[in-house]
Every structure is written in C-alpha cells, then in structure tokens.
Amino acid sequence: MALPPPARIAVAIALGAVGVFVAVHLAMVFLHIAPSNTLSRQHGEVVEEYVYPEFEQNWKLFAPNPLQQNVAVHARAEVRKPDGATETTGWVDLTAMDVEEIRGNLFPSHTAQNELRRAWDFFTGSHDDRHQPNGVRGELSEEYLKRIVMLRFGPELNGGEITRVQVRSATTPVASPPWSDESTSTETTYQELPWWSVDRTDVPEGE
C-alpha cells in the first residue's frame, strides 16, 4: 500500500539525513587515513575531533612485530569524606574487570573488549615521555580516559565524594614459549600518571 504524502515526505527527509551523515562520516574517515593533503591540513583539528576516539583506524593486527606484552590499566581515587577527611583508595584493576566480563561470554560487548584498551592506546599515542599532551589530541585523550574511570567508579566511593583520580599501567612481558631459547623477564613494571582533579560533571547524567 502506498504511503500517504506526509509519510513519504517524512521518509524522504529521514533518508536524506542518513545519506548526509554517511557522506560526512566517510569523508572524515577518508581525510583521516589519506596522505596529507590540502583539505586534511586545513581542517585537521575538525577531522581529529570527529574521528577520535571512537572511529580511529588501527593497523596493529598487521604489524611486523606484534605486541608481546600484557598491559593492564589500573586506577585509584582520592575521596573526601563528609567530615572533611580524605582517603586514598587502593588500586583497582579496570582491565581485569573487562576480562572477567569477556571470559566465558559468547557475545561480549564492544565496550568491554575495546573501550579501555583503545583509550589507553589513544592516551599513550598522544603524549610524550613526560605525560605531556601533544596538542588537541592529547587533551582529548585525557578527558576520555578520565571519563571512563569516573564511569567505572561513579561520583562517590567508600562513603565519600571522589575529588581526584590517578591512572597507571601495569606492563607484563609475555613469557617465551617452552621451545624457545630466548629468556624473557616477566616482571611487571608500572607507569603512573599524574593525579587528575574531577567533579560530578565528569560523570554523564543518568550514569
């Protein structure tokens, strides 16, 4: 049965909006992965703000030297109690929380598999060795990583309000296989980031 004119107009508008969104998305991703050109240089910041972190392209699967380390992301918080006293929590293994959700799950969520891992890659790839951000990407990666931590912790923890959070990585080399003559240390090393101040605006409403 043919749709009445108002419905046809609504469908046409919806299809047009979807078409425009798809065209813009493809253009942004193309400019991100394409060699440097006039458009990408002129609108680089706009492209990066759109692409990162959700649509970043990553080719590590095809790297000639695949990663040989297990990297876990930990976080802890500074909590202000109602009486004004402060308390620093212990380190929480956020990566272990994701692994627990994935293990044995036939259909693990994209968030559990990639959100925290990609956020850490995004952060390390946009900061120097002194944890200083490299431009807009670095600042965006800090806000993104901090937001993830606050989503895991919530605005309150251990009977108090969170005022600061700190993140660290725990890197453990993968042991050499039994048939290999290579000797690999499996000692875990830690990399701590500076403390970040937070408030309730760092947790989206409804979370």
Q: What is the predicted pLDDT for the residue at 41?
A: 76
Residue 56 has a pLDDT of 64
Q: Are 121 and 95 in contact (CB under 8 A)?
A: no
- pLDDT mean for each 10 residues of the chain (207 residues): 75 89 86 75 78 64 64 95 93 94 87 89 89 87 92 90 95 83 84 90 65
Q: Is residue 56 part of a domain?
A: no
| Parent domain of 47 | 5-51
Domain count, the chain: 2
The per-residue pLDDT for 190 is 94
Whether the model pTM is above 0.75: no
Tell me whether residue 57 is in a domain.
Answer: no
Confirm whether 134 is domain-assigned.
yes
CA distance 119 to 127: 12
pLDDT score for 8 = 80
Give the pLDDT score at 54.
65
Say if 107 falls within a structural domain.
Answer: yes
Q: Is residue 58 part of a domain?
A: no
pLDDT of residue 88: 95
Say yes or no: 158 and 127 in one domain: yes
Residue 13 in domain: yes
Strand segments, DSSP code E, in the chain are 69-80, 86-88, 92-93, 156-157, 160-173, 189-192, 196-197
Q: Is residue 42 domain-shared with residue 67, that is, in the same domain? A: no
Judgement on whether residues 195 and 169 belong to the same structural domain of the protein: yes
